Structure 1
Amino acid sequence: MSTTTTARPAPTGRHAGSRRRIATTVGILFVAQMVMAMVGTSLTEAFVDGAVDRDQMTLGVLLMMGSGLAVIAIGLLMYPVLKDVNPHLAVWYPVLRIAEFSVSAACGIYLLAQSEVVPNHMLWIYVPTGLGGIVLTYLLLVSGLVPRAIALLGLVGYVALTVGVPLDLLGVLDMGAGPGLLLVVPGGLFELVFLPAWLLIKGFRTVHAPQSRPTGAIHPAIR
């Protein structure tokens, strides 16, 4: 698979307005999906830990479903932006976000049907979350669509999340408690705070296509 990145001419007029609306919508959706996921997870975990209110558990599953739908919307909205950077790699972002929703939905349906959770269900959700996040943040980093520091925070966070899954499965750490939580924090800050704040306030940066440059020169979008 080619990983060549390209920069397109600066968007103008209607296209620029569309990109601004996408940035705003994606920023809102990132916050919404995180809030729904956190509340939904707490409600389902309370049921698993002994709470007898099945209605709260059902609400938790529905919130997780809502979070998953928001995740799909983010993937679909970001694709036309990311494909201008690398169309071959960008397609994997919505694909992995759909996979994330599918795993989450399957775990939720199982919980409703059996009144028990799928073993290590959060870890299975983390797999497409981490891989999709790596695709997103890599493309954000090389394109300069958001500040480098924000993209790097997300990349580090998603790599940590992905690496943490096998470590958790092997019993080396617990990503749900203690030091293992540190592997979840960077990605959480990226999704809940830094990326949404930038997109809501500033939107995507404009990446200009270079007119000409000598062979071997570094592309301005990846300096």
Structure 2
Amino acid sequence: MAPLGSTRRTAVVTGVLFLITEVAAVAGLSLYGPVLKGGDYVLGPGADGRVFLGALSEIVLALAVVGTGVALYPVVKRQNGAAALGYVCGRLLEAAVIAVGIVSVLAVVTLRREGAADAGALVTVAQALVAVHDWTFLLGPNFFLGANTLVLAWLMHRSKLVPRSIAVLGLVGGALICASATAVLFGVYEQVSVPGSLAALPVFAWEVTLAVRLIVSGFGAQTRLTVSANGSSGRKQP
């Protein structure tokens, strides 16, 4: 049986990791600004230090994304083992896509520092690498994040580990960001746009609200978690 104190610590760690994902994601996108504005970055003086800080922020983001899945697994697997494992795998996949985006941006910096004299070729390759980052930004923090949010919110709703209102916010946010990513995929609007930002607000609110709830109050249904860990409500422990 896992002691309640251990479950409480898990809730706090998970909440902190969710907050880290939010801060690191915003910091990474902001710091990447110069290199994402176009291939001309490779021809100018550059802002490599800023880009490196952005890459570091996204490395922290990827680690925190994996951390949320690993930290939550011992708790949510008691509700549905297959869904819990799917959530961990989904978070790993989300982090892997983020890592591809990091590599593509850093490759632009390498081109700027060590590229050949053909300016046209440099710009073309840099634009291609930025395009790779843009697609990873759509897949990771949108499609995969939305799917992972739906799985976790469903687990939270089913188990009552958090208040129903928080779980429903996650279900709405996950569905909305997946729908928005589909719209971006088919060119309805740009990802970094007013509609795209509005569609991302519910999932942002879900993660922040969930994080605060876990840090302040922990998981709900503690008795149920203890009973599930023991195997059966009718079984006497020796």
- 2:219 is paired with a residue whose SS is coil
The answer to whether 1:176 aligns with 2:192 is yes
Listed as ranges, the gaps of 5+ residues in structure 2 are 110-128, 225-238
Match of 1:122 among 117, 121, 137: 137
Rg larger for:
2
Inter-CA distance 53–114: structure 2 relative to 1 (3 Å threshold): closer
For 1:191, the equivalent position in structure 2 comes to 207
The answer to whether 1:95 aligns with 2:95 is no
* Cα shift readout 1:131-163 (whole Å, capped 9, x = no counterpart): 111110000011100000011111110111112
For 1:132, the equivalent position in structure 2 comes to 148
* Cα shift readout 1:24-57 (whole Å, capped 9, x = no counterpart): 0111111111101100111112332267211101
Q: Distance in 2 between matches of 1:148 and 1:107?
A: 35
Q: Distance in 1 between matches of 2:15 and 2:222?
A: 19
- 1:146 is paired with a residue whose SS is coil
Q: Distance in 2 between matches of 1:48 and 1:179?
A: 20
* Cα shift readout 1:51-88 (whole Å, capped 9, x = no counterpart): 72111011101110111101101100101111011011
For 1:86, the equivalent position in structure 2 comes to 80
Match of 1:201 among 216, 222, 229: 216
The answer to whether 1:60 aligns with 2:75 is no
Match of 2:13 among 25, 28, 49: 25
Q: Residues 134-153 of structure 1 correspond to what in structure 2 (within 5 A)?
A: 134-153=150-169
Amino acid at match of 1:47: V
Amino acid at match of 2:27: V
Shift of 1:174: 2.7
Listed as ranges, the gaps of 5+ residues in structure 1 are 1-10, 210-223
Shift of 1:200: 1.0
Give the aligned length.
196
Identity of matched residues, %: 33
Shift of 1:173: 2.5
Structure 1 consecutive aligned stretches of length 4 or more whose deviation exceeds 6 Å = none
The answer to whether the 8 Å contact 1:37/1:64 transfers is yes
For 1:111, the equivalent position in structure 2 comes to 105
Q: Distance in 1 between matches of 2:33 and 2:139?
A: 16
The answer to whether the 8 Å contact 1:83/1:91 transfers is yes
Match of 1:157 among 163, 173, 182: 173
Amino acid at match of 2:190: D
Inter-CA distance 18–101: structure 2 relative to 1 (3 Å threshold): same
Shift of 1:207: 5.2
The answer to whether the 8 Å contact 1:174/1:181 transfers is no
Shift of 1:23: 0.3
Scaled by the length of structure 2, the TM-score of the pair is 0.78
The answer to whether the 8 Å contact 2:100/2:136 transfers is no
For 1:37, the equivalent position in structure 2 comes to 25
- 1:120 is paired with a residue whose SS is helix
